[in-house]
Chain A
Amino acid sequence: MSAAIGFGKDLIGLEHLTAEQIRTILDVAEPFKEVSERAIKKVPALRGKTIVNLFFEPSTRTRVSFEFAEKRLSADTVNIAAMGSSVVKGETLVDTARNLEAMRIDMVVIRHSSSGAARFLAERIPSNVINAGDGQHEHPTQALLDLLTVRDRLGRIEGVRVCIAGDILHSRVARSNIWGLLKLGAEVAVCGPPTLVPPGIHELGVCVFRRLEEAIEWADVLNVLRLQLERMEAGYIPSLREYNRHFGITSARLGRAPRDILILHPGPMNRGVEIDSDVADGPHSVILHQVTNGVAVRMAVLYLLAGGAPERAEAAKRGTGDES
């Protein structure tokens, strides 16, 4: 099982991957990008594999991206949305694990509101488990697609200055990005209201900016996080208006930057809160590029966890690869 590059059974997070493994995923994603550009967007690499997309939290974006990736690799997919009041949290995950095991599923893509849920499942079933976001812990495929986008646009990741802006405290995207960026040699900073910056984060080697102006002065890349409305209700910030005034990415603020800054956003966006429309749709925004890369990166992860050899990805893309 991909022993050549030492992947485990699962992809739970980037914290425990090596720089080499992360680079391999990004490299394998390259040939898969092109598949999505074809008239017939399908290769047989995962034919005969059964994949369950198990979503305990609503997410159109990530689920659809995984589903495209799975279908383009010719896997059989089933979507399970385990949301709603009839589902008792906790018991469900154990029971679900037992059911999945009984059904001999090859791979499970899980999204869950509790940190650690993906690992919990992975420890209990023999299938490959891919974390599509667990609580405030990690969202590894999002970070991988962010890394790929930065690499596409700037030609490298090493030495690039990336600032993650917004609600760091509650963000799994921030955590996965921090691990991935640091491992690949980027300089990493975070910037947000101090109420939304988690304790101890500087111990990871991350610089903390208190003011967005300083971050913009410093950064090559801004990864702008979504601000959930409930953060205001929970008292982390006084109002959305004030948030936009002091921490929102506006063209006026960006205009004072000493260099061009690449703008990433994991979506979905709150236009007029953390990011203004003219920035989101402006020349420095690579938000749609991220969406395209999302499918390619997820194809790469699925391919590698299914046992595909990195050096055969090019052949797999042409449909002549070893399909086993």
Chain B
Amino acid sequence: MIDPSQGLDDRVDLLIADGRIARWGRDLQAPESAETVDLAPDCVISPGFVDLHAHLREPGGEHKETIASGARAAAAGGFTSVCAMPNTDPPIDDPAAVGFVRAEGMRAGAARVYPVAAATVGSQGTQMTEIGELVQAGAVAVTDDGRPIASSKIMRRLLEYTQTFGIPVLSHAEELALSGNGVMNEGLISTTLGLQGIPNAAEDVMVARDVILAGLTAGHVHICHVSTQGAVELIRAAKARGVNVTAEVTPHHLTLTDEAVQGYRTECKVNPPLRSRADVEAVRAALVEGVIDCVATDHAPHHYEEKEREFDDAPFGVVGLETALGVSLKVLVEPGLLDLAGLIDRLACRPARIVPLPEGTGTLAAGAPGDVTVFDPTKRTRVRPERFHSRSRNTPFAGWELPGVVLLTIVGGRVVHRGEAQG
């Protein structure tokens, strides 16, 4: 059992009772009524993973994903908590919509679904939503992800106003005037493919603005899906001067460069785009160093037919919930950048502290919610999109052989996913 929140890495038993962690220790005596699971020596018991960034598409995009299918995909990937992005149709910008996402999440009975609400009405970027009401209804953060907040004034107000309610503003940092009609990273590859590029500066400029405004207001800005070396440097400097900024990086930005786009592969069309080798190295190092706090998937399902078209016309986004663990193990743990505890810290413990989740989320301390992930980091499997629990298959990792099989995902003491390879 590895739980970085308690500095624990030991061979112990874990007892869950009444939906909560009862206790852990060597040779625990299980009560007679308890169901016991014996694990192979290589298996790891971890606090359930927490994903701060998933697009579950409901309402409005049910052909891509529903809250239920997304929650099941999350559970299959070892996530016990998932934050649902509000850029649905209509956007989640009123308390009833927040209530709907919560209720659907509970009904699904898989991973816990925490709604993130729109930061501005209709995600139009002009008028703040009723953030107090939204938080009361269950929102754990606000964002206009997918439609970056262009107005510095609105961003400032948001960073001020959210402080009363203790939630961060999640920023999709993109200067739209610079990204324009770009469809991939700007560089040699975009030049040879004849595709419009998105320069790193489109992200860097906005991250600079956001950390400056967070400094001005003392509000909490969380930078989503960091993809550039420049953004890393800006976040590092802001943290050093005490700005309240946190950040996430996706498994695909930790792994792939713009070379993956060659051949006009729409399954590699994502925003922010896959960047250069230097950027990949920089975000990996930043995650290890703690400049970037956690891994988040930016799970963005799209229907097959939507991606089966000219590169310019295909939508941005890749699915990530069911490959996040494997990809992270492959690019962070196998090369020795992080040990297992370090990865679990970034998949479970740290993200749970960025948004106000229920007390005890992201830890296996006694009394915490019984949210547990059990996985075998040594077992390798091939990524088979046709077996995804997600409704969509748009992954750049199809056919990759990845380490790490999720054996059990437990939410509130109930098994919500059982891996095939259990034994």
CB of B312 closer than 8 Å to a CB of A: yes
CB of A175 closer than 8 Å to a CB of B: yes
Give B189's nearest chain A residue, CB to CB: A200
Specify which of A90, A115, A201, A203 is in contact with B193 (CB 8 Å cutoff).
A115
Contacts of A90 in B (CB 8 A): 309-310, 313-314
CB distance from B89 to the nearest CB of A (A): 19
CB distance from B65 to the nearest CB of A (A): 21
CB of B358 closer than 8 Å to a CB of A: no
B264/A115 in contact, CB under 8 A: yes
CB of A241 closer than 8 Å to a CB of B: no
B194/A91 in contact, CB under 8 A: no
Majority SS at the chain B contact face: loop
Specify which of B187, B189, B194, B263 is in contact with A172 (CB 8 Å cutoff).
B194
CB of A204 closer than 8 Å to a CB of B: yes
A94/B194 in contact, CB under 8 A: no
The distance in angstroms between the C-alpha atoms of A143 and B281, with both chains bound, is: 38
CB of B30 closer than 8 Å to a CB of A: no
Known: A116-B264, A199-B197. Contact between A89 and B191, CB under 8 A?
A: no
The distance in angstroms between the C-alpha atoms of A159 and B191, with both chains bound, is: 25
CB of A298 closer than 8 Å to a CB of B: no
B312/A115 in contact, CB under 8 A: yes
CB of B188 closer than 8 Å to a CB of A: yes
CB of A286 closer than 8 Å to a CB of B: no
CB of B311 closer than 8 Å to a CB of A: yes
1/0 per residue, CB under 8 A from B, across A91-102: the answer is 101100000000
Contacts of B309 in A (CB 8 A): 90-91, 93-94, 120
The distance in angstroms between the C-alpha atoms of A203 and B187, with both chains bound, is: 10
Contacts of B186 in A (CB 8 A): 199
Interface size class of B (residues with CB under 8 A): 20 to 34
CB of A119 closer than 8 Å to a CB of B: yes
CB of B195 closer than 8 Å to a CB of A: yes
Contacts of A204 in B (CB 8 A): 188, 192
CB distance from B337 to the nearest CB of A (A): 28
CB of A112 closer than 8 Å to a CB of B: yes
CB distance from B200 to the nearest CB of A (A): 11
B310/A93 in contact, CB under 8 A: yes
Contacts of B192 in A (CB 8 A): 15, 175, 204
Give B187's nearest chain A residue, CB to CB: A200
The distance in angstroms between the C-alpha atoms of A135 and B191, with both chains bound, is: 12
Contacts of A89 in B (CB 8 A): 310, 313
Contacts of B313 in A (CB 8 A): 89-90, 114
The distance in angstroms between the C-alpha atoms of A93 and B186, with both chains bound, is: 26
Contacts of A198 in B (CB 8 A): 190-191
Known: A119-B263, A199-B197. Contact between A114 and B191, CB under 8 A?
A: no
Known: A93-B309, A94-B309, A116-B264. Contact between A136 and B195, CB under 8 A?
A: yes
CB of B334 closer than 8 Å to a CB of A: no
The distance in angstroms between the C-alpha atoms of A270 and B198, with both chains bound, is: 30
Which of chain A's residues 250-270 have a Cβ closer than 8 Å to chain B? none
Give A89's nearest chain B residue, CB to CB: B313
CB of A187 closer than 8 Å to a CB of B: no
Contacts of A175 in B (CB 8 A): 191-192, 194
Can you list 8 A-B contacts (CB < 8 A)?
A89-B313, A114-B310, A114-B312, A115-B195, A115-B264, A115-B310, A175-B192, A199-B197
List residues of chain A with CB under 8 Å of any chain B CB: 15, 89-91, 93-94, 112, 114-117, 119-120, 134-138, 172, 175, 198-201, 203-204
